[in-house]
Structure formats: structure tokens, C-alpha cells
Amino acid sequence: MSRRLMLFSAVAAWIVLFATAIPEVEMRIVAAAQQQPSADRKIWDGVYTVAQAERGRTRFQASCIRCHNAELIGSDRGPALKGNTFWSKYENDSLASLFTLIRDTMPRDGGAGVVSDEVKIDILAYIMMRNDVPAGSEELKLNPASLESIKITKKGVLDGVYTEAQAERGKANFLMGRCGGCHQLDLSGDRGPALKGDAFLSHWENGSVNALFRKISEGMPPNAPNETTDDAKIDIVAYLLQSNGFPPGKTDLKLDAEVLEGIEIARKGGSSTAPNFALVQVIGCLAKGANNGWVLTRTTEPALTKQEASTPATLRDAQAKALGAQTFELISVKPFKPEAHDGHKMEARGLLYRDSNDARLNLTSLQMVEQTCNN
């Protein structure tokens, strides 16, 4: 065989080998992608199953009701695990934080190791079900990165809080009543304000559906608020949400002040970044800054938190987080003895402030995660 023919044969064999390997490579890439947790998920996206929550119900009743009550309303031995008390404590945190608390501290009287992590993840699913968080098609997994990607947020109008049938009833009630005389039949406003579009959203956004319902319930129509029943008015609220482009869901809005108070009115595309003066957690590299100050470099995006100080469990979770590209000047840093941690990977908590020229963190906690800052 000539040298040229040998070379041609070798190249041809390589092409065949490469071509046959492509499907396998593609399959590996797809499999790897499927193992990665979805970013920026919320608990309202269906992150547990009914079967998992039912398993959690059995274990909750066996291990947790003495402190937290069978109805999850709490007692003098343990806090409520549903309702406004629950949301105010854990809102804007991640499921990883809540699971870590359950994993490392519950049950308190029997030792955290009495109940397995597999059981505790099922109990977490049950807690979500009791807070009217809808189930999905996949179970919660014992995966820190996956749990970290799921945010605990109050339900918003973008999460489907009414049904199409309810909105249609509300439309009929609106058209039959005296609403159109002030607000126009197309909701564009006249003697009364517009009930759709920027004018409506600017007035009500970042408030609760309960505030909107109370306004209608207590004051509409003017001078005769009892002319229309609250059942009809809650349907009218559903119609207003539909008219402003908010999607329907699988259940009607309920005449329940606590439930309605927990539903926020927020536009699509609203910012999910932490606001100024919020308590946040960031992870980055500690370094000396200008004028004998200290900075945290290569930080993660600030994450809202309810806890001013870290715990051993949250520090372990922080160790696995990849660093980012931001830098924050640290305020009130001296009590945390930064000199001992120059160049270390740190978890910081504090009050956030940043604008186009400045980024600062007024510290409430500064703890070492690793003695190096290579990842």
C-alpha cells in the first residue's frame, strides 16, 4: 500500500470514528445538562410531588407536631410553619437554607440525627404543600445546588392566582354593575381611575392583592359598597388581573385575607436583585483596600437573607459556591479582625448599598469559608 493510500485510509478511519462518537458525546452533554439545577426557580414552579408531601405528612405527624402543632401554627416550643409568620421569616431565602435549618437542628429534643435527611426532605415538601404551594411532577432532591436554586418567594400575580372561569364571572359582574360608569367598560378610566395599564400598575405594584380587594370591598361603588357582594368583588379582582395580562392558574382567588395578603402585585420583568438597605449574603475574597480599608472581591451576587449571622451549615454550603466578579467595600469590618483572613474565601452578611459609583456592605457577620480563594 502506498504511503498516500495509507494516509487516506487513516484519515477515513478517523472520520468514521469521530462521526460514530458524536451521538455519544451529544448524549453525555445532554445528560450533564439535565443534571444541572435550573437557575432562578421559585417554589411556585412545582418542585415537589404530592406523593413526596404525603410521605412527609406521616413523618411530620410522628416527629414534629409536639412543637409545631398538627396545623403547623406553632406553639411555645416551636414557630409556625405556615402563614404570614412562615413567609416573613423565610421569604427571599432559598430552600437550601430552610432545609439546612431542618437538617441540622430538628428535632431539638431528640437530636438532629434521629430523623434521616431523606425523611427531612419529604417533610420540607409537606410544609410547602400546607402553605398552598402547588406540587409538580418531580420530587425535591437531596442536592444542595438544586435546593439553592429554588427561591422561597411569596406568591405573585405572575404565578397564576385565579382561574379563567373566575375572571369571566368577574367580567360579567363588572359589566352588569355600576363599575363602568366611573371606570369605563374598557377599564380606561373616567370619573374613576384606569383599572388596567401603567396607571393601574404604578398605583398597585409591590402591594398585595388584599389591598386591592379591600379597596373594592370597602369603597366600591362609592356610597353603596354593600350593593355588590364580596364573592362578586373577588371575581372582579380576578378580571382586573386578567385584563392586566397576569396569567390564570388552576384555583380561584379565595376570600381569605391572609392568603390575599401573601400575593404580591408585580409586573413581569421586575428586578429580582436585592434592593439597597436589604440584609444580604455574599461570598468572595477578602483583600486590603484603599485608605487602610478592606474589600471583598470576586463576590457572588448578593442574596437576600433573614439571618444576620452564618451557621456552620451555611458555611459548608458557601464553600461549594463559585465566586463571581463583583467587589464590595466593607463597612464596620474591624470587629471581625480582617487581618487574620487576608486572601481567604469569606462569607459576609450585612446591609447592602450600591449605585453606579459605589458598592458597600455594612457587616453583621464575616466568617472564613476556606483559607484559599482559588474557586
Give me the pLDDT at residue 275, please: 77
Strand ranges (DSSP E) for 143-268? Answer: 150-151
The answer to whether residues 261 and 244 touch, using CB atoms and an 8 Å cutoff, is: no
- At 274, which amino acid appears? A
The CATH number of 41-153 is 1.10.760.10
Name the architecture of domain 159-261.
Orthogonal Bundle (1.10)
What class, spelled out in words, does domain 279-370 have in CATH? mainly beta
The whole-model pTM stands at 0.58
Peptide bond into 107 cis (omega under 30): yes
- At 224, which amino acid appears? A
Assigned C-alpha cell, 350: 450585612
Give me the pLDDT at residue 17, please: 38
Under DSSP, is residue 246 helix (H, G, I), strand (E, B) or coil? coil
Assigned C-alpha cell, 2: 502506498
The answer to whether residues 182 and 272 touch, using CB atoms and an 8 Å cutoff, is: no
Give me the pLDDT at residue 310, please: 86
Give me the pLDDT at residue 322, please: 82
Domain boundaries, the chain: 1-35, 41-153, 159-261, 279-370
Same fold flag, 41-153 and 159-261: yes
> Mean pLDDT per segment of 10 residues, for the chain of length 375 residues?
42 39 38 44 92 97 93 92 81 88 85 86 96 92 93 88 97 94 95 92 84 93 91 98 94 89 78 74 94 94 83 80 90 95 95 88 95 84
Cα dihedral sign for 288, 294, 300, 301? negative
